[in-house]
C-alpha cells in the first residue's frame, strides 16, 4: 500500500468512527431525556421496565438469530466445499477426464480463509437487522407474558 491509500483508509475509518460517536451521543441524549421525563411524572419504574424489556429482548433475539445464521452458513460451507467437482456431462460407459478443469469460483470462495469472516459478518448483520425489528415489539411480549382472561365467566 502506498501512502495515499493508507491516508484514504485512515480517513474512512475516522469518518466511520465519527458517525458512530455522533449516533451514540444522539441515542444516549434521547435516552436521558426520556429518563428525565419519566422521573418528572414519577414513573421511573415504567421506564426501567421498558428499558430492561427492550434491551433483554434485543439481546435474546440477536443471540438466537446469530447462532441460527452462523450454524446454517457453516453447515452449508462444509457440505458445499467438500462436494467433489462433477463434470457437467458424463457418459455412463466411459470416464471423462478433464485436463484443464474450470475452477468454480463459488467453491474456491467456500474453501478460502476469508469465507469464515464473511459468514460471521453476514450472521452479525442478519442478527442485527432481525433483533432491531424484534426489540420494537417488546410490548407484545409483555402483553403475552402478563395476559389476563377477558370476557370469561
Q: Whole-model pTM above 0.85?
A: no
Tens-digit pLDDT profile for residues 58-108: 999 999 999 999 999 888 888 776 666 555 566 667 666 666 666 677 777
Domain ranges of the chain: 16-84+104-145
How many angstroms separate the Cα of 137 from the Cα of each of 33, 76, 86, 98, 143? Answer: 22, 31, 48, 56, 10
Check: CB of residue 104 under 8 Å from CB of residue 71. Answer: no
Q: What is the separation, in whole angstroms, between the first and last Cα of the chain?
A: 77
Tens-digit pLDDT profile for residues 19-67: 999 999 998 999 899 999 999 999 999 899 889 999 999 999 999 999 9
Name residue, grid cell 468454480.
104
Tens-digit pLDDT profile for residues 122-145: 999 999 999 999 988 888 888 888
Check: CB of residue 29 under 8 Å from CB of residue 98. Answer: no
Amino acid at each position: 500500500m502506498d501512502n495515499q491509500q493508507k491516508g484514504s483508509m485512515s480517513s474512512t475509518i475516522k469518518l466511520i468512527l465519527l458517525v458512530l460517536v455522533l449516533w451514540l451521543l444522539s441515542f444516549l441524549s434521547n435516552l436521558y431525556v426520556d429518563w428525565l421525563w419519566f422521573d418528572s411524572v414519577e414513573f421511573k419504574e415504567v421506564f426501567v421496565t421498558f428499558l430492561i424489556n427492550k434491551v433483554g429482548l434485543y439481546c435474546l433475539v440477536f443471540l438466537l438469530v446469530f447462532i441460527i445464521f452462523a450454524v446454517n452458513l457453516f453447515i452449508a460451507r462444509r457440505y458445499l466445499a467438500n462436494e467433489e467437482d462433477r463434470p457437467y456431462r458424463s457418459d455412463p460407459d466411459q470416464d471423462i477426464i478433464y485436463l484443464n478443469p474450470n475452477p468454480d469460483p463459488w467453491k474456491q470462495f467456500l474453501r478460502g480463509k476469508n469465507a469464515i469472516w464473511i459468514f460471521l459478518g453476514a450472521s452479525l448483520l442478519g442478527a442485527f437487522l432481525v433483533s432491531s425489528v424484534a426489540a420494537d415489539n417488546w410490548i407484545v411480549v409483555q402483553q403475552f407474558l402478563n395476559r389476563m382472561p377477558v370476557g370469561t365467566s
